[in-house]
């Protein structure tokens, strides 16, 4: 265990140094749109390496033995995902340290006012929420794998549980991953007026600090009978009333097309398909099915996103919606072609291209 701990500290140091070197490199090689093309890829590599090292280094097995020593009910079965929590925590720490090395250069490159502590804290909150969701999703998988001969009658129940779990996650995804503050009287007045003009029925729930990161957007969460609206504070500074109305119209169109429910269903289907085939057939077949089904469902979600854009453009005008989209910074616009095709949400540049073509 001491050797594993020393290796983990080595990963932290290597990730930080790699982040510093990459940050310096990104300052020299920033493209014409002042965007870096590898921060999230570097963080993904650091996270993957840390996860593999900790998992195959024996941390999962050691944690499982420690939990079993506390109480027999914590050994195996549904409780088995708990043994992954220290590994997930160590992986998140490695990613955050690497991001801490990159961030000063990213802040200089984009001329941001946000502090490193605030940025790392937000990323930690988001990664923690994702980890919680994944650990909970592992519970039915481990229970099925532990069974010697699971009955196929569990398959529809598995899909139902995953669908409910994914929908619950999407209902609270904004509040779990973002800092929410109360809107000022002027922000509330402007947002309520824009929502009325766009016929957006969702409740105004708060403001997301987006000024420091220069993100102008409006987001929805909550169940279909109690939708909530969140706007970034940056949107109030860079958008006029017409453009703010356009974003509200886009949110209303997304709500009418049940985009939140579609995303939850797609995630549940992919999880359910993978778990079903892995348990009852083989892991290889499950991976092949995921590789085929994933891009098809992602394309379906992209078409729904484009349709919501067209609905909003018809409601408030394409020009206002284009200006509103261009005002906010979409960090996904630096995707390569493969990433763009596989992503569930199209990039802003592609959305603008479709609006102009229409």
Q: Is residue 323 part of a domain?
A: yes
Tokens linked to 25:
């490199």
Q: Which two tokens stand for residue 49?
A: 């390496």
Is residue 226 located within the same domain as residue 96? no
| pLDDT of 332 over the 70 cut | no
176 part of a folded domain = no
Instruction: Determine how β-strand 228-232 pairs with β-strand 203-208.
Output: parallel
Whether 114 and 202 map to the same domain: the answer is: no
State the pLDDT at residue 131: 81
Rounded CA separation 58/185 (Å): 54
Please enumerate in sequence order all residues whose Cβ is within 8 A of that of 181, keeping only pairs 6 or more positions apart, or say none.
206, 207, 208, 209, 233
Tell me, yes or no, whether 133 and 193 share the same domain. no
Q: Based on the fold, state whether residues 111 and 234 are members of the same structural domain.
A: no
Rg (CA), the chain: 22
Catalogue the E-assigned strands of the chain. 203-208, 218-221, 228-232
In the chain, how many domains are there?
A: 2
pLDDT for 301: 93
Q: Which of 130, 148, 166 is the last residue of a domain?
A: 148
pTM for the predicted model, two decimal places: 0.74
Range with the poorest average pLDDT among 45-59, 119-133, 243-257: 119-133
The kind and range of the H/E element at 182 are none
Tell me whether residue 156 is in a domain. Answer: no
Q: Is the pLDDT of residue 110 over 90?
A: no
134 is a domain residue: yes
Instruction: Say yes or no to pLDDT of 36 above 70.
Output: no
- Residue 299 and residue 219 share a domain: yes
* Together in a domain, 49 and 135: yes
99 and 144 inside one domain: yes
* 180 φ/ψ angles, rounded to the nearest 5 degrees: -110, 130
Q: What is the pLDDT of residues 65-74, one digit of tens each?
A: 777 777 666 6
Do 217 and 306 have their domain in common?
yes
User: CA nearest 200: which of 264, 257, 256?
Assistant: 256
Residue 284 is assigned to a structural domain of this protein? yes
**Is the domain of 20 the same as that of 134?**
yes
pLDDT band at 106 (very low <50, low <70, confident <90, very high): confident
Distance of CA 338 to the CA centre of its chain: 18
Final residue belonging to a domain, choices 91, 119, 148: 148
Query: Tokens at residue 199, please?
Result: 């016929």
Q: Which of 15-29, 127-141, 193-207, 327-341 has the lowest mean pLDDT?
A: 327-341
d(CA 66, CA 181): 40
Cβ atoms of 315 and 292 within 8 Å: the answer is: no
**Same-domain status, 230 and 349:** yes
Query: What is the sign, positive or negative, of the torsion defined by CA atoms of 176, 179, 182, 183?
Result: negative
**Shared-domain flag, residues 52 and 196:** no
Domain that holds residue 287: 185-357
Q: Residue 190: inside a domain, yes or no?
A: yes
User: Is 131 within a domain?
Assistant: yes
Q: Would you say 330 and 305 are in contact if contact means Cβ atoms under 8 Å apart?
A: no
pLDDT in tens, 138-183: 777 777 766 667 777 778 887 888 888 788 777 777 777 777 888 8
Burial class, 176, CB count within 10 angstroms (exposed 0-12 / middle 13-18 / buried 19+): middle
For CA atoms 8, 10, 16, 18, the dihedral sign is negative
136 and 250 share one domain: no
Identity of the highest mean pLDDT range in 75-79, 124-128, 149-153:
124-128
- Nearest CA to 101 out of 213, 11, 6, 209 is that of 11
Report if residue 15 sits inside a domain. yes
Q: What is the DSSP letter of 148?
A: S
Secondary structure (DSSP) of 200-259: --SEEEEEE--TTTT---EEEES-TTS-EEEEEHHHHHH--HHHHHHHHHHHHHHHHTTH
| Residue that terminates a domain, selected from 148, 171, 199 | 148
> Phi/psi zone of residue 34: left (φ > 0), alpha (ψ -120 to 50 degrees), beta?
left
């Amino acid at each position: 265990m001491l050797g594993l701990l020393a290796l983990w500290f080595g990963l932290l140091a290597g990730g930080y140094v790699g982040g510093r070197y990459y940050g310096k490199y990104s300052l020299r090689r920033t493209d014409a749109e002042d965007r870096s093309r590898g921060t999230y890829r570097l963080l993904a590599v650091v996270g993957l390496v840390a996860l593999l090292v900790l998992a195959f280094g024996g941390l999962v097995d050691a944690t499982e033995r420690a939990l079993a020593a506390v109480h027999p009910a914590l050994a195996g079965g549904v409780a088995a995902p708990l043994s992954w929590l220290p590994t997930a925590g160590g992986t998140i720490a490695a990613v955050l340290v690497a991001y801490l090395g990159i961030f000063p250069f990213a802040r200089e490159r984009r001329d941001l006012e946000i502090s490193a502590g605030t940025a790392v804290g937000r990323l930690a909150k988001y990664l923690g929420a994702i980890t919680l969701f994944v650990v909970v999703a592992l519970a039915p998988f481990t229970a099925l794998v532990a069974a010697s001969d699971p009955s196929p009658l569990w398959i529809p129940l598995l899909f139902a549980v995953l669908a409910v779990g994914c929908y619950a996650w999407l209902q609270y995804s904004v509040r779990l991953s973002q800092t929410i503050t109360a809107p000022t009287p002027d922000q509330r007045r402007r947002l309520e007026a824009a929502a009325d003009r766009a016929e957006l029925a969702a409740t105004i729930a708060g403001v997301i600090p987006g000024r420091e990161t220069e993100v102008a957007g409006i987001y929805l969460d909550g169940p279909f009978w109690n939708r909530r609206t969140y706007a970034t504070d940056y949107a109030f500074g860079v958008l006029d009333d017409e453009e703010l109305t356009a974003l509200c119209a886009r949110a209303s169109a997304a709500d009418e097309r049940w985009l939140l429910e579609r995303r939850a269903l797609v995630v549940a289907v992919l999880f359910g398909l993978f778990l079903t085939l892995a348990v009852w057939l083989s892991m290889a077949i499950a991976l092949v099915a995921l590789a085929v089904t994933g891009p098809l469902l992602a394309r379906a979600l992209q078409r729904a996103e484009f349709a919501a854009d067209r609905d909003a453009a018809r409601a408030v005008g394409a020009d206002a919606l284009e200006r509103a989209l261009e005002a906010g910074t979409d960090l996904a616009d630096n995707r390569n072609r493969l990433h763009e095709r596989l992503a569930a949400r199209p990039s802003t540049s592609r959305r603008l291209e479709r609006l102009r073509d229409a």
